């Protein structure tokens, strides 16, 4: 059989948020781009489905029209705040600050819908060839090009973009990121119908019970009376304590006094499904000769909240800018690509580092109970926590002992 050779400027592996953001940002460039995904769309992704204010902000930064289209996209619901449930079962409700551009600050949208929304934005781009249902399983980098085999073709490009998620083949073949259980979380998701007593303003709920610390159980409202229910924990703890997350989730919803009534008439709509969360709690090399890693492939998930969609979009934007420069200078070298790593960590490291410290605080359940108790009694503490949710500088206060000392006397 004769193999056909096809040349592109750029190959993007993965059409999730990171890959689509990168392709979208390159929409006006005179480039020949291939966007390859092993799945056919619409495709599901195991996730909590929560779209934070940062996700909406990234969409605005990509293109105001795109953000406006998302605002009128039907398959999502508004969320106006978060409920934190402390290990002692007391809770606080915190409204999200500053509604985003006059709209809800956050949304929840099933990934099968949200990712389709993003995919639809790029699939007809004139400079893009979309190849779905094709798994990339080998990549060769030589001095002058990157080579892949897809169908019966050899595909060549100048640069390959690994936007292929937690189990990235681009990272496995070309990168250096290894799974370290202390910097990796395990998560499971189960869609439910008819969970009762959902918050009237669709607050997302994070339940920090002793059994799952440092991690949490979540209940996120969805359209049509459904809910995304799941559990996420640091992988090192899951291994050390030999926790079966699926059993633990079932046990909590059936037996925990806070949940038992709420799940009495609830129906699971699927078997719980698991997936890895590569968290950004340490700096890693994100590029090399002729490749860049984005999103989960670059381990950019927030270590405290487990949110990764915002950073996946952000890395797609940053990668696109880098690609334009690399093409302009015809430089795809490891040295040049280090500039991409530098910008990523310039923009994200501060927040990732603080989130790592906050994740460590979860090892002290009494501290959590104390903050919730104080916040319930004191409106100014609640206001402060609201501001901290989306202000990195204020969040820094949370990891200082002086914050808790002041709280003691508030």
Nearest to 216 by CA among 205, 227, 207: 207
Q: How far is the CB of 188 from ligand FAD (least distance, A)?
A: 6
Binding positions for ligand FAD, 176-205, rule CB under 6 A: 187, 189
Q: Choose which of 10, 11, 12, 13 interacts with ligand FAD (CB under 6 A).
A: 13
Helices (H), 230-333: 235-240, 245-255, 309-329
Q: What is the DSSP letter of 97?
A: S
Q: Which is nearer to ligand FAD, 159 or 381 (CB)?
A: 159
Binding positions for ligand FAD, 365-394, rule CB under 6 A: none
Binding positions for ligand FAD, 331-350, rule CB under 6 A: none
Cα 188 from chain centroid (whole Å)? 14
**How far is CA 113 from each of CA 8, 52, 144, 406, rounded to the nearest angstrom?**
29, 16, 39, 45
Q: Choose which of 56, 62, 67, 163 interacts with ligand FAD (CB under 6 A).
A: 163
Is residue 18 within 8 A of residue 316, CB to CB? The reply is yes
- Angle, vertex CA 118, rays to CA 296 and CA 282, nearest 5: 15
Binding positions for ligand FAD, 109-138, rule CB under 6 A: 135-136
Binding positions for ligand FAD, 70-89, rule CB under 6 A: none
Q: Which is nearer to ligand FAD, 49 or 237 (CB)?
A: 49
Q: Choose which of 18, 67, 130, 279 interacts with ligand FAD (CB under 6 A).
A: 18
Q: Choose which of 6, 31, 39, 77 interacts with ligand FAD (CB under 6 A).
A: 39
75 Cβ neighbours under 8 A, 6+ residues apart:
109, 110, 113, 114, 117, 223
User: How many chain residues bind ligand FAD (CB under 6 A)?
Assistant: 40
Strands, E, within 28-176: which ranges? 33-37, 50-51, 77-79, 81-85, 91-95, 106-108, 128-132, 139-141, 146-150, 153-157, 159-162
Q: Choose which of 9, 205, 237, 296 interacts with ligand FAD (CB under 6 A).
A: 296
Q: Which is nearer to ligand FAD, 312 or 319 (CB)?
A: 312
Specify the residue for token string 């595909």. 155
Nearest to 50 by CA among 305, 390, 356: 305
Q: Among all residues, whose Cβ is closest to ligand FAD? A: 308
Binding positions for ligand FAD, 226-255, rule CB under 6 A: 230, 232
Q: Report if residue 164 touches ligand FAD, rule: CB under 6 A.
A: yes
Binding positions for ligand FAD, 300-329, rule CB under 6 A: 301, 306-310, 312
Q: Report if residue 46 touches ligand FAD, rule: CB under 6 A.
A: yes
Would you give the binding string for ligand FAD spanning residues 266-285, x where CB under 6 A is met?
Answer: ---------x-x--------
Query: Tokens for 252?
Result: 């909590």
Query: Tokens for 345?
Result: 């960590």
Q: Report if residue 45 touches ligand FAD, rule: CB under 6 A.
A: yes
Q: Which is nearer to ligand FAD, 53 or 327 (CB)?
A: 53
Question: Which phi and psi (to 5°) does residue 193 adopt?
Answer: -110, 140
Query: Tokens for 201?
Result: 């303003």
Specify the residue for token string 């030999």. 242
Q: How far is the CB of 385 from ligand FAD (least distance, A)?
A: 20
Q: How far is the CB of 396 from ligand FAD (least distance, A)?
A: 22
Q: Choose which of 9, 38, 281, 287 interacts with ligand FAD (CB under 6 A).
A: 38
CA distance 133 to 135: 7
CA count, 13 A, side-chain hemisphere, 192: 24
Q: Report if residue 222 touches ligand FAD, rule: CB under 6 A.
A: no
Nearest to 269 by CA among 235, 307, 240, 228: 228
Q: Which is nearer to ligand FAD, 49 or 205 (CB)?
A: 49
3 Cβ neighbours under 8 A, 6+ residues apart:
149, 152, 153, 154
Q: Which is nearer to ligand FAD, 38 or 353 (CB)?
A: 38
Query: For the chain, what's the residue count?
Result: 410
Question: Which range, of 17-25, 63-71, 319-327, 356-364, touches ligand FAD by CB under 6 A?
Answer: 17-25
Q: How far is the CB of 206 from ligand FAD (least distance, A)?
A: 10
Q: How far is the CB of 189 from ligand FAD (least distance, A)?
A: 5
Residues that bind ligand FAD (CB under 6 A): 13-19, 36-39, 43, 45-50, 135-136, 163-165, 169, 187, 189, 230, 232, 275, 277, 295-297, 301, 306-310, 312
């Amino acid at each position: 059989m004769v193999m056909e050779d096809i040349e592109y400027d750029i190959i993007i592996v993965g059409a999730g948020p990171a890959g689509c953001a990168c392709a979208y940002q390159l929409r006006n460039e005179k480039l020949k781009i291939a966007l390859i995904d092993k799945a056919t769309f619409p495709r599901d992704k195991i996730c909590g489905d929560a779209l934070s204010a940062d996700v909406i902000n990234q969409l605005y930064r990509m293109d105001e029209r795109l953000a406006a289209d998302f605002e009128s996209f039907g398959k999502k619901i508004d969320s106006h705040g978060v409920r934190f449930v402390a290990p002692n079962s007391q809770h606080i409700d915190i409204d999200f600050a500053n509604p985003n551009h006059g709209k809800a600050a956050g949304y929840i949208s099933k990934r099968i819908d949200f990712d389709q929304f993003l995919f639809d934005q790029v699939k007809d781009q004139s400079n893009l060839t979309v190849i779905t249902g094709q798994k990339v399983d080998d990549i060769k980098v030589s001095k002058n090009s990157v080579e892949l085999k897809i169908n019966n073709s050899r595909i060549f490009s100048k640069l390959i973009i690994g936007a292929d998620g937690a189990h990235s083949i681009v990272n496995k073949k070309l990168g250096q990121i290894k799974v370290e259980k202390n910097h990796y979380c395990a998560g499971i998701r189960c869609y439910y119908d008819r969970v009762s007593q959902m918050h009237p303003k669709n607050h997302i709920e994070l339940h920090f019970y002793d059994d799952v610390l440092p991690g949490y159980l979540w209940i996120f409202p969805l359209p049509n009376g459904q809910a995304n229910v799941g559990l996420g924990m640091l992988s090192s703890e899951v291994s050390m304590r030999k926790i079966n997350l699926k059993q633990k989730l079932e046990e909590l919803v059936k037996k925990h006094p806070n949940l038992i009534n709420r799940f009495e008439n609830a129906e699971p709509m699927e078997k719980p499904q698991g997936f890895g969360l590569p968290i950004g709690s340490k700096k890693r090399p994100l590029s090399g000769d002729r490749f860049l890693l984005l999103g989960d492939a670059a381990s950019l998930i927030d270590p405290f909240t487990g949110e990764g969609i915002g950073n996946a979009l952000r890395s797609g934007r940053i990668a696109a800018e880098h690609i334009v420069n690399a093409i302009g200078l015809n430089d795809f070298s490891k040295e040049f690509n280090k500039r991409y790593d530098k910008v990523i960590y310039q923009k994200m490291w501060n927040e990732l580092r603080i989130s790592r410290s906050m994740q460590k605080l979860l090892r002290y359940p009494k501290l959590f109970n104390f903050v919730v108790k104080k916040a319930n009694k004191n409106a100014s503490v609640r206001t402060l926590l609201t501001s901290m949710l989306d202000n990195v500088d204020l969040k820094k206060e949370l990891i200082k002992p002086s914050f808790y000392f002041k709280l003691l006397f508030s």
